[in-house]
Structure 1
Amino acid sequence: MMYVFYGSFFLSSGLPFPRKDGDIWALIHEESPMNKDWLFSFGSTIELFNYTSTFKRGSDYPLTTHWLTNKETLLSKEYLVPTDRKNVMRTDGGLAPIIFVHSDCNTPSNREQYVTTLQKYVDVDSYGPCLHNKDFPEEFKNLDGIAGFLKPDFLRLVARYKFAIAFENAICDDYITEKLWRPLQVGTVPIVLGSPTIRDFLPSTKSAILVEDFDTIQDLAAFINQLDRNDEQYESYLQFKHTGISNPTLKSELARISPGEYAGGRFGKAASGYECFLCDKLHKALDATKAGKPVAKVLYVHRNLTKTAKSSPTIAESMSWHSTI
């Protein structure tokens, strides 16, 4: 009676047709709509499912913060490098103020174009295959790939920098990945291009630099250079590490997460939680069927239009992407 589909492996062929009355279809998909060729951007696809578990808060079992372990992770000072030490690494160690490590180099958000233009006004160390200009230090070798980016060694590397590029591959409400949480965890200020609802999930009103707040890339670069020169102003973006999380929406979201559910950003635990959720729904559906009542069809209300923030005149301002999931 219950079929659960993982979005990354969803195919239009091989579906359990004919679909019997009372059969329940459920979707779990933590990726952006660009995964699976935008298949999940269409209402006709989403409407196949009775229940959904996606990054959208409007889904039945949201995965918005599935890369965030708990509030202790955000407030941890385990990897925090004092600002004066970062300054020494900037001058004596030859580090740029910004670190950029992305492996997907052709994305709908056009993040590579943005960073290319940003580099004209402020230095960026790019360790990944996208815009590569710096090799991993010898002590941090074997860090390639997603698994390497979760290792303590990589976290220590990110912690050396004042700022980190946190640009998502697609611009969708509530689509937030480890690219935001990782710099916040280690005490590096993220520069964010992503979810238009990102303010709902920041630890405080002053904990990240949002691209959408600047009219041009030149304006953004000037602000970053200003913070790089002013320690007191820079450290105000790390104040939440000492004062705690003040954002009520994020507090509520963290309180909703079961202890250890997303531990280490492991998607499998979130999937297990969704399975428990669906098990409860299945029993209710069985009861409804026995009573001669129809199985409820959940109305999906996630459709929206989103647009990237204004960028440099050298980059088209028409970077708009449709998102359903």
Structure 2
Amino acid sequence: MQSETAHRMLRHALLATFVLGCFVCLFLSRYNPLSSRDVGAANLAEPAEAVKIFLSNKSNEKVITLLLWFWPFGVRTNLSGCSSRFNIEGCSLTADRNFYDEADGVIIHHRDISGDVSNLPKLRRPPFQKWIWMNMESPTNSPRTPRIENLFNLTLNYRQDSNIVLPYGLIEAADGKEDFVLPSKSKLVCWIVSNWNSDHVRVKYYNELHKHVQIHAYGRAFKAYVSKNDFLSTIASCKFYLSFENSIHKDYISEKFYNPLSMGTVPVVLGPPRQNYENFIQGDAFIHVDDFSSPKELADHLLLLNNSEEMYLRYFEWKRYFKVRMTIFTTEHACVTCDYLHKHKEYKALSNIGGWYWGD
């Protein structure tokens, strides 16, 4: 009898242990360390800091605070949307200089300090903070100053050998095979130019080219202003567009190239060598002036394409598989910089921006 009682008590103990174990497992499976109570505790901190604590726990990464010291060219933009627009998480972007002490990075636009470095931050730089030199202008159009040496940790630029790279446009894979429809064309060759300088290579080339083919030219030099609303539609109405850069430098391929690509117009480019362009898009999407021995030979080729729809349409084969996305000035630069700072925690300093960018 005692033995039976002992066995019964042992079975009850084992059953109780099993039930308790199941309860513990269920509790652990349901338990979330980021509970509402924990978030409430985080809210005891400053509101902005509470958000950072929440995001840090959620992504297991520190939220990057990035300060824009100047609005480039004085143009204010919307700094929100890194996550929704570019799929970049954990970014707190601001132009409020009161956040200087806690900023992980400070973007400083070159044009705003090229003549006067006295408008740089006066406070001591926190040891964890990186200064980022931002410049999207070509070396020819960027005033050089030796006073920027030994100030910066990183470069933000269109050049492919920059620390943080962001060209003027991107050629991305299309979501599916695209059915390209050629816009209606009423003009053969067009050019919209605001910066006219008779010493520019592009102006000299234009002066020869227009002797052999009609060019619809717009801009201040031609007393034919094109409004912002009509800018892209004007480009789309032309079979060819003169994507002539104002200066020729490595990787300097501006919106003058990407605008006609996006609008279904063939760019005729004057800039860095053809191979440099082909680093960004396949070679049969554009025409390079270097492919011809003279402006007259180029004009003859454009007239030939004008008379052959089959040959002309070959320049749009790439559009079946790819699309153009223009980069969003300032906002995307800040988001991409935030992403870089997330991925690169190592120390880095720059001692020779001048030699790298302008050449010695």
TM-score by length of 1: 0.65
Q: Which has the higher strand share?
A: 2
Which of 134, 144, 155 matches 1:28?
Answer: 134
Distance in 1 between residues matched to 2:149 and 2:303, nearest whole Å: 44
Residue 302 of structure 2: SS of its match in structure 1?
A: helix
Question: 1:184 and 2:288 equivalent?
Answer: no
Task: Give 1:277 deviation, angstroms.
Answer: 3.9
Structure 2's unaligned 5+ residue stretches are 1-100
Which of 223, 227, 230 matches 2:301?
Answer: 223
Which of 119, 130, 134 matches 2:210?
Answer: 119
Q: Which has the higher helix share?
A: 2
Could you tell me whether the CA contact under 8 Å between 1:100 and 1:127 is conserved in 2? yes
Distance in 1 between residues matched to 2:294 and 2:355, nearest whole Å: 29
1:195 is aligned to 272
1:206 is aligned to 284
CA spacing shift, 1:61–1:223, aligned 2, 3 Å = same
TM-score by length of 2: 0.59
Task: Give 1:101 deviation, angstroms.
Answer: 0.2
Residue 269 of structure 2: SS of its match in structure 1?
A: strand
Residue 179 of structure 1: SS of its match in structure 2?
A: helix
49-58 or 98-107, larger mean C-alpha shift = 98-107
Distance in 2 between residues matched to 1:228 and 1:193, nearest whole Å: 20
Distance in 2 between residues matched to 1:27 and 1:281, nearest whole Å: 18
Task: Give 1:231 deviation, angstroms.
Answer: 1.6
Partner amino acid for 1:124? I
Task: Give 1:49 deviation, angstroms.
Answer: 2.2
Partner amino acid for 2:278? R
2:72 is aligned to none
Question: 1:167 and 2:244 equivalent?
Answer: yes
Partner amino acid for 1:198? Y
Task: Give 1:195 deviation, angstroms.
Answer: 2.7
1:50 is aligned to 153
Task: Give 1:102 deviation, angstroms.
Answer: 1.1
Partner amino acid for 1:13? V
105-114 or 186-195, larger mean C-alpha shift = 105-114
Task: Give 1:24 deviation, angstroms.
Answer: 3.7
% identical aligned pairs: 27
Mapping of residues 1-325 of structure 1, within 5 Å: 2-11=105-114, 12-14=116-118, 15-16=120-121, 22=127, 24-37=130-143, 39=144, 45=148, 48-64=151-167, 66-68=168-170, 70-72=172-174, 80-81=182-183, 86=185, 89=186, 95=187, 97-106=188-197, 109-130=200-221, 132=222, 135=224, 143-144=226-227, 148=228, 151=229, 153-196=230-273, 197-202=276-281, 204-242=282-320, 244-245=321-322, 265-277=327-339, 279-280=341-342, 284=345, 295-298=347-350, 323=358
Tell me the alpha carbon deviations over residues 187-226 of structure 1, each in whole angstroms, 9 at most, x when there is no partner: 1110001133111112x22110001222221221221122
Task: Give 1:113 deviation, angstroms.
Answer: 1.7
Partner amino acid for 1:104? N
Residue 201 of structure 1: SS of its match in structure 2?
A: coil
CA spacing shift, 1:19–1:116, aligned 2, 3 Å = farther
CA spacing shift, 1:68–1:20, aligned 2, 3 Å = closer
Residue 56 of structure 1: SS of its match in structure 2?
A: coil
Task: Give 1:303 deviation, angstroms.
Answer: 5.9
Aligned residues: 251
Distance in 2 between residues matched to 1:280 and 1:230, nearest whole Å: 52
Could you tell me whether the CA contact under 8 Å between 1:111 and 1:169 is conserved in 2? yes
Task: Give 1:268 deviation, angstroms.
Answer: 2.0
Structure 1's unaligned 5+ residue stretches are 90-94, 137-142, 246-250, 255-262, 286-294, 305-321
Tell me the alpha carbon deviations over residues 19-55 of structure 1, each in whole angstroms, 9 at most, x when there is no partner: 8795643201112123333x17x7x856642100101
Partner amino acid for 2:251? D
RMSD between superposed Cα atoms in Å = 3.6
CA spacing shift, 1:69–1:225, aligned 2, 3 Å = closer
- Higher relative contact order structure (alpha carbons within 8 Å, sequence separation ≥ 6): 1
Partner amino acid for 1:117? E
CA spacing shift, 1:107–1:271, aligned 2, 3 Å = farther
Distance in 2 between residues matched to 1:302 and 1:193, nearest whole Å: 25
Task: Give 1:278 deviation, angstroms.
Answer: 6.0
Distance in 2 between residues matched to 1:239 and 1:77, nearest whole Å: 10
Task: Give 1:162 deviation, angstroms.
Answer: 0.8
Distance in 2 between residues matched to 1:225 and 1:237, nearest whole Å: 15
1-10 or 182-191, larger mean C-alpha shift = 1-10
Tell me the alpha carbon deviations over residues 68-100 of structure 1, each in whole angstroms, 9 at most, x when there is no partner: 485459x9778732xxx53xx3xxxxx3x1010
Tell me the alpha carbon deviations over residues 81-137 of structure 1, each in whole angstroms, 9 at most, x when there is no partner: 2xxx53xx3xxxxx3x1010011112874212211111011110012123x27x46x
| Higher alpha-carbon Rg | 2
